[in-house]
């Protein structure tokens, strides 16, 4: 079993939470994605933080292109490993 992970980078917490909730509906993900605040280097202000949605894909069944397009719906993107 591999440890494949996908990281979606989103502009704010609301977008990250909404995307995380929608992932299950759209892609049939049963494991809840992890949300992580990613402060930009040298910034202390929460407004300058991006949010990451981290999801495991051990069976490698999720299409990276579809995930990138999905993140784009919230002005985000999928980070390449």
Q: What would the mean pLDDT of 27-50 be, rounded to a whole number?
A: 77
pTM: 0.85
pLDDT at 38 (0 to 100): 85
For residue 17, CA distances in Å to 10, 36, 57, 79 come to 10, 10, 19, 17
DSSP for 24-52? Answer: HHHH---SPPEEEEEEPTT---GGGEEEE
> pLDDT tier at 1 (50, 70, 90 boundaries)?
very low
Q: Is the pLDDT of residue 27 over 70?
A: yes
pLDDT digits (tens, 9 = 90+) for 11-25: 999 999 999 999 989
């Amino acid at each position: 079993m591999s440890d494949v992970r996908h990281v979606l980078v989103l502009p704010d917490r609301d977008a990250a939470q909404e995307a995380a909730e929608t992932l299950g509906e759209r892609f049939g993900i049963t494991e809840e994605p992890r949300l992580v605040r990613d402060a930009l280097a040298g910034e202390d202000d929460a407004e300058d933080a991006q949010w990451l949605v981290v999801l495991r894909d051990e069976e490698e069944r999720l299409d990276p292109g579809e995930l990138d397009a999905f993140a784009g719906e919230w002005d985000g993107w999928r980070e390449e490993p």
